[in-house]
């Protein structure tokens, strides 16, 4: 993933909460020591939407996907 943006249930947006670098090692399995970078984010409520953006290593294009988190999933997140 190149970047992850989150909008919480209050409508506040948090940009680039996670980012990573793409690399091609010729080995399709595992992370090969290249994890992503997280930035500290404070005062974030339960997520309402998550936007993922990834760059293709083979094609000159980026892919985006928007994941909407339903209320029942947020309810499950707060159960003990």
pLDDT tens for 56-66 read: 778 888 899 99
Question: Is the per-residue pLDDT at 55 higher than 70?
Answer: yes
Contact yes or no for 52/39 (Cβ under 8 A): no
- Name the domain count of the chain: 1
Is the residue at 34 inside a domain? no
Is the residue at 27 inside a domain? no
Long-range contacts of 38-43 (CB under 8 A, 24+ apart): 41/6, 41/14, 41/17, 43/12
78: Cβ–Cβ under 8 A, 6 or more apart, which residues?
Answer: 46
Is the residue at 32 inside a domain? no
Q: What is the pLDDT of residue 17?
A: 87
Residue 74 confidence class, pLDDT cut points 50, 70, 90: very high
Is the residue at 40 inside a domain? no
Residues in the chain: 80
Residue 24 confidence class, pLDDT cut points 50, 70, 90: low
Is the residue at 36 inside a domain? no
Q: Which domain holds residue 55?
A: 1-20+46-80
């Amino acid at each position: 993933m190149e970047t992850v943006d989150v909008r919480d249930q209050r409508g506040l947006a948090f940009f680039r909460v996670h980012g990573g670098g793409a690399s091609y090692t010729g080995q399709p399995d595992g992370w090969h020591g290249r994890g992503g970078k997280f930035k500290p984010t404070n005062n974030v409520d339960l997520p309402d939407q998550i936007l993922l953006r990834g760059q293709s290593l083979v094609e000159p294009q980026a892919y985006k996907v928007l994941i909407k988190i339903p209320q029942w999933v947020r309810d499950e997140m707060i159960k003990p």
